[in-house]
């Protein structure tokens, strides 16, 4: 079994914002495989169960808000007795152009509070991540907050959709058991 966790914030006001690109990627997989998310209140997440290449894959959207994502991920990892090699977390990354993707097997949170929460709860920084580029505004604090909580413009749709399509390909390879270094060579 594999688990793909898309990071984001719950609530209509955050729907389809840059900071919720993780939710958007797992939604894209759920749409392709006609899966429905169900709330798992005990583990603070919406979870959809899909079969990709004959592998059971859990698609997860934490209901904890971004900064407490680990409060959902850790209980799910424990409940399903997942090896961390079978976990892939999708995060937004302002330091990459919109639609650009980068796979990592470990590393620091790099200022991303959702990743920091997961690392704290798991007790390690060694877990798979897919960084999804959302671009960067001017380096003014309020501009950054407004930017990540803002919606994608019409002119950004081609890059956004291309990134989502490529993310689905990565998830399919991950589900098929392709090794992370191979996926990294192919998609980074």
Q: Note the pLDDT of residue 140.
A: 62
For the stretch 134-154, pLDDT in tens is 988 766 665 777 888 888 989
Domains along the chain with CATH numbers: 2-187 (3.40.50.1470)
Question: Residue 59: its pLDDT value, please?
Answer: 98
How far is Cα 159 from Cα 133, in angstroms, rounded to an integer? 10
What pairing do the DSSP bridges indicate for beta strands 38-40 and 55-62?
unpaired
Residue 142 pLDDT? 56
Q: DSSP class of residue 81?
A: T
Active-site residue set: 19
Contacts of 164 (CB under 8 A, 6+ apart): 24, 25, 28
State the pLDDT at residue 138: 63
pTM of the model: 0.94
The answer to whether the beta carbons of residues 61 and 23 sit under 8 Å apart is: yes
Question: What is the predicted pLDDT for the residue at 73?
Answer: 98
Segments in the chain below pLDDT 50: none
Can you say which residues are annotated as belonging to the binding site for tRNA?
14, 65, 67, 113
What is residue 177's predicted lDDT score, i.e. its pLDDT? Answer: 93
């Amino acid at each position: 079994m594999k688990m793909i966790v898309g990071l984001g914030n719950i609530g209509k006001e955050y729907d389809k914002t840059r900071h919720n690109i993780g939710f958007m990627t797992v939604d894209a997989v759920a749409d392709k495989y006609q899966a429905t998310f169900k709330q798992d209140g005990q583990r603070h997440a919406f979870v959809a169960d899909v079969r990709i290449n004959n592998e059971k894959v859990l698609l997860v959207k934490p209901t904890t808000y971004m900064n407490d994502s680990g409060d959902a991920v850790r209980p799910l990892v424990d409940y399903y007795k997942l090896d961390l090699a079978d976990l892939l977390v999708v995060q937004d990354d302002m330091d990459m152009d919109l639609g650009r993707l980068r796979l990592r097997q470990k590393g620091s949170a790099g200022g991303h509070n959702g990743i920091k929460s997961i690392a704290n709860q798991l007790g390690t920084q060694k877990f798979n991540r897919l960084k999804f580029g959302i671009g960067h505004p001017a380096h003014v604090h309020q501009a950054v907050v407004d930017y990540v909580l803002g919606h994608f413009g019409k002119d950004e749709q081609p890059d956004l959709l291309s990134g989502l399509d490529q993310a689905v390909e990565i998830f399919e390879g991950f589900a098929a058991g392709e090794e992370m270094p191979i996926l990294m060579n192919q998609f980074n």
